[in-house]
Amino acid sequence: MKTWFKSLAAVCTSVVLGFGATVARAQDKELNLFAWSEYVPQSVIDGFTKETGIKVNYETYASNEEMLAKLSAGATPYDLVQPSEYTVEALIKADMLVPIDHSKIPNMVNIDPKFANPAYDPGNKFTVPWMAGTVGIVIDTDKVKDDIKGFADVFSGKYARRIVALDDGREWLTWVLNVQGKDINKITPEVMEGARPTLEKWIKQVKVFDSDSPNDKLLTGECDIGVLWSGEAAKLYKENKKYKYVLPVEGTHQFIDNLAIPKTARNKGAATAFMNYILRPEVSVLISEDFPYTNPNAAARKLLTPEQLENPASYPPADAKLELFHDIGTLQADVDKLYQDLRGGM
């Protein structure tokens, strides 16, 4: 049964349907979504279009830095972007986001309280959480019999040219800093220089750098160990229990990816409607099924199977040593340069 709430203003703005769906303003006929590659299920896009009539143009990026650079250039007026926590901080500082209208996103009540008031966006003034995850180690236990506990074990030299790892400079620097016992968010030129020798040694041991589909190299047997996003690790575990997921004993990054509306957006009504749509439990479950990261939607988690909830890559233990990234400003470019210089020297 559908309950329609009508008013004169709704004719020009939006109509709210039962079950928390929001149909965007009549003039919003499309939605330009700029998001991570392989991260938005086609079923979600198709369902949103079927319900609202809004066409979704989905363009992808491989890193927060790529997204930020393209958004800053302003060539394309994206309506929704999908930044991680530290990039949200950068976008807020740069005054590049539009505050969201919570009254038009009633499904925000479904967000787990742990994700409802993040330090990078108090009160979720600008963002709605999409998925959270960790960076961890995947081991093909048929090939690797050693007890791998952390980054130091992976890059000990024993597994050189058998490793697939993320192609992300900030992540790489963080792994070294974790091993060195340093604060991963207190990055200075001196800290980077101190990490350089270890970074150079570790990078040379990697066979494949891949942030998009790193699990493929483990499935094909090309690599035996991976340092991956947890959602990719969860897919491997679901495929075959021989793939063991380890959260590094030294500590690791927990990321939270979000939806946010840039100030340059032309279809803000459509963007708001999409935010509300993906927070429906039955829609959020579709995201978990295709991309088994940590779902921040508490109502959706109630619909997941015991097998999904017990996947160690999807839902880490409460005592895991995890830390969010913070924005490091212009030093990000220096981190990228350091990483690319070392990558280029291989």
Selection from 309, 175, 344 nearest residue 253 by Cα: 175
Determine the 3-state secondary structure of 126 from DSSP: coil
Confidence of residue 24 (pLDDT cuts 50, 70, 90): low
User: Is residue 1 in a domain?
Assistant: no
How confident is the model at residue 38, as a pLDDT? 87
Identify the CATH number of the domain in which residue 328 sits.
Answer: 3.40.190.10
Percent of the chain's residues with pLDDT above 90: 88
Domain that holds residue 156: 133-254+315-344
pLDDT attached to residue 76? 85
Instruction: Look at residue 2 and tell me if it is in a domain.
Output: no
Using the predicted structure, report yes or no on whether residue 84 has a pLDDT greater than 60.
yes
Query: Which residue from 277, 285, 326 is spatially nearest to 305, judged by alpha carbons?
Result: 285
What is the total count of domains within the chain? Answer: 2
* Segment 284-293 mean pLDDT: 98
pLDDT score of 172 more than 90: yes
Long-range contacts of range 183-189, CB-CB < 8 Å, 24 or more positions apart? 184/251, 184/253, 184/323, 184/325, 185/323, 185/325, 185/326, 185/328, 187/328, 187/331, 187/335, 188/331, 189/331, 189/334
* 128 and 139 co-located in one domain: no
Identify whether residues 36 and 21 lie together within a single domain: yes
DSSP 100: P
User: Does residue 194 share a domain with residue 121?
Assistant: no
249 and 272 in one domain? no
Whether 29 and 124 map to the same domain: the answer is yes
Tell me, yes or no, whether 214 and 301 share the same domain: no
Q: What string of DSSP letters covers 193-213?
A: HHHHHHHHHHHTTEEEE-SSS
Confidence band for 346, pLDDT divided at 50, 70 and 90: low
- Note whether residue 108 is domain-resident: yes
Which of the listed ranges 11-20, 71-80, 275-284 does the model predict with the highest average pLDDT? 275-284
Question: Do residues 182 and 35 share a domain?
Answer: no
Higher local confidence (pLDDT), 56 or 10: 56
pLDDT band at 101 (very low <50, low <70, confident <90, very high): very high
- Whether residue 3 lies inside any domain: the answer is no
Q: What is the pLDDT of residue 2?
A: 33
Specify whether 186 is located in the same domain as 327: yes
Q: Is 70 exceeded by the pLDDT of residue 14?
A: no
Asked if residue 155 and residue 194 are part of one domain, the reply reads: yes
Instruction: Classify residue 150: in a domain, yes or no.
Output: yes
For residues 218 and 261, state if they share a domain.
Answer: no
**pTM score of the predicted model:** 0.90
Q: What is the pLDDT of residues 177-235, one digit of tens each?
A: 999 999 999 999 999 999 999 999 999 999 999 998 899 999 999 999 999 999 999 99
**In a shared domain, residues 339 and 201:** yes
Region of 221 (left: φ > 0; alpha: ψ -120 to 50; beta: rest) is: left
Residue 154: its H or E element: helix 151-154
Mean pLDDT of all residues in the chain?
Answer: 92
What is residue 25's predicted lDDT score, i.e. its pLDDT? Answer: 52
| Residue 99 reports pLDDT greater than 60 | yes
| The pLDDT of residue 82 is above 80 | yes
Beta pairing, strands 30-36 & 163-165 = unpaired
What one-character DSSP code corresponds to residue 262? Answer: B
Does the pLDDT at position 53 exceed 70? Answer: yes
The dihedral built from the CA positions of residue 25, 40, 42 and 292, taken in this order, carries a sign that is negative
> What's the mean pLDDT in 246-258?
98
Give CA–CA dist 170/203, Å, rounded: 13
CA distances from 136 to 83, 127, 139, 180 (A): 20, 26, 10, 17
pLDDT band at 75 (very low <50, low <70, confident <90, very high): confident
Per-residue pLDDT, 8: 30
Do 335 and 260 share a structural domain? no
Indicate if the pLDDT at residue 86 is higher than 50: yes
Q: What percent of the chain has pLDDT over 70?
A: 92
